[in-house]
Amino acid sequence: MQKFNPSILLYTPDALNERGQKALLTYPEAVAQQIVQHNRLPPLEGNHYQVKSDVLVLGRLKTLVCRESGRSSDFIAPSLANGCMGACAYCYVDRNKPVNPITLFTNTEEILAAVNKHVQKQVWPKVPNQTHATYYTYDIGCNSDVSVDASISDGVQTAVRFFREHPKAFATFATKFVNPEMLTYDPQGKTRIRFSLLPQKVSKLVDVRTDSLPKRLAAINDFYQAGYDLHVNFSPVIVYEGWLQDYRELFEQLNESVPEKLKQTMDCEVIFLTHNQWQHEINLSINPKAEEMIWAPAIQETKQSQFGGINVRYQYQMKARWIQEFRELQQEVIPWCKIRYIF
């Protein structure tokens, strides 16, 4: 995994607990600057993507709310971090912030205490659903990439231990990175990793600074053997000439990479591309080749997100046909990898 090595470190005083102090010492060459609020940053030099690799913010998360999900998890946990050093051309987190460096929240124990308080209010035993048959499932990486976060502090390891020992709660997160250090965390089946997969030629273009498809595929068995629950995430599905053939090749690669025992339990989720006008304009100056693939007005329409933003998605009738074609291909090549949900 590419090493995160920020040159600027911004921090709020209330973030400098033991975890925050250790993060400061981890990057002694970074210029440290105190700020008042983690979500109100001073002007930063460089373009949107340079900021993501050059700046680290340390803050204390004060809004400790668990939100309903119902797709990849039952609930979305309060964030351990926000932002990512990756520069994926379609990242939905970036749409909500004009600049989006990694913000590490150092009050991990408070965050996990909020999860515990929330899960204790839920009906028990849980009614089985597609997220998990037994445990209430919490996404701990909805606004960041947990594999990157784990390289910065012990917050992720603390969270994996919390879920391992909790009688009712289960963790999940999607990732585009491979962090070998996480193989030592001993999750004992209580944390689910969802490796995000795109055809290699597409991933190389749009998943900027993330680990390659071969690395992600090679890591699947390693993390399974280390005690993680393993699923995959086909997201975002991008439609272009020859896209189904490229997914056939990807499915064949996955079929070869996954051991037979894991095939009995591995499921997938599928999310077709959504994009954004603001993001499109930023990408034109930074990654125009990606925009040639993901900005396709002739087959896209506007939609309002659940948070009020105006995004674009594939036209409804076309998308319905492509979803059916995707399902048919999945059933043909990797029928063992059940689709948990697709949209």
pLDDT in tens, 249-287: 999 999 999 999 999 999 999 999 999 988 898 889 889
Token pair for 263: 């095939």
Sign of CA dihedral 210, 172, 232, 178: positive
**pLDDT band, residue 224 (cuts 50/70/90):** very high
Whether the per-residue pLDDT at 48 is higher than 90: the answer is: no
Domain membership of residue 322 (yes or no) is yes
User: In a 3-state reduction of DSSP, which class is residue 51?
Assistant: helix
* Entry pTM: 0.95
**pLDDT band, residue 6 (cuts 50/70/90):** very high
22-28 mean pLDDT: 94
Domain interval for residue 73: 8-342
Q: Any idea which of 87-96, 100-109, 163-172 has the lowest mean pLDDT?
A: 87-96
- Region class of 70: left (phi > 0), else alpha (psi between -120 and 50), else beta: left
Whether the per-residue pLDDT at 219 is higher than 90: the answer is: yes
| C-alpha 211, offset from chain centre | 13
List beta partners, residue 274: 313
Residues 186-211: tens digit of each pLDDT: 999 999 999 999 999 999 999 999 99
User: In a 3-state reduction of DSSP, which class is residue 274?
Assistant: strand
User: In a 3-state reduction of DSSP, which class is residue 261?
Assistant: helix
4-24 mean pLDDT: 96
Whether the per-residue pLDDT at 131 is higher than 70: the answer is: yes
Domain membership of residue 238 (yes or no) is yes
Residue-level pLDDT at 306: 65
Token pair for 117: 């308080």
List beta partners, residue 290: none
Mean pLDDT of the chain: 95
Distance, in Å, from the CA atom of 125 to the CA atom of 108, rounded to the nearest integer, reads 27
User: Residue holding tokens 């095939």?
Assistant: 263
Distance, in Å, from the CA atom of 212 to the CA atom of 148, rounded to the nearest integer, reads 15
Domain membership of residue 233 (yes or no) is yes
Residue-level pLDDT at 7: 96
**pLDDT band, residue 46 (cuts 50/70/90):** confident
Domain membership of residue 185 (yes or no) is yes
Asked whether 73 and 172 are in contact (CB, 8 A), the reply is: yes
**pLDDT band, residue 11 (cuts 50/70/90):** very high
Helices (H), the chain: 18-26, 48-54, 108-119, 146-149, 155-165, 200-206, 213-225, 243-257, 260-263, 277-286, 288-294, 316-333
Distance, in Å, from the CA atom of 6 to the CA atom of 55, rounded to the nearest integer, reads 5
Q: Are strands 31-34 and 55-59 parallel, antiparallel or unpaired?
A: unpaired
Distance, in Å, from the CA atom of 85 to the CA atom of 91, rounded to the nearest integer, reads 11
The CATH number assigned to the domain holding 204 equals: 3.80.30.30
Q: Are strands 338-342 and 267-272 parallel, antiparallel or unpaired?
A: parallel
Q: Which amino acid is at 292?
A: E
Q: What are phi and psi of 192, to 5 degrees?
A: -105, 125
Domain membership of residue 1 (yes or no) is no
Domain membership of residue 2 (yes or no) is no
Asked whether 146 and 175 are in contact (CB, 8 A), the reply is: yes
Domain membership of residue 3 (yes or no) is no
- Region class of 186: left (phi > 0), else alpha (psi between -120 and 50), else beta: left
- The number of distinct structural domains making up the chain is 1
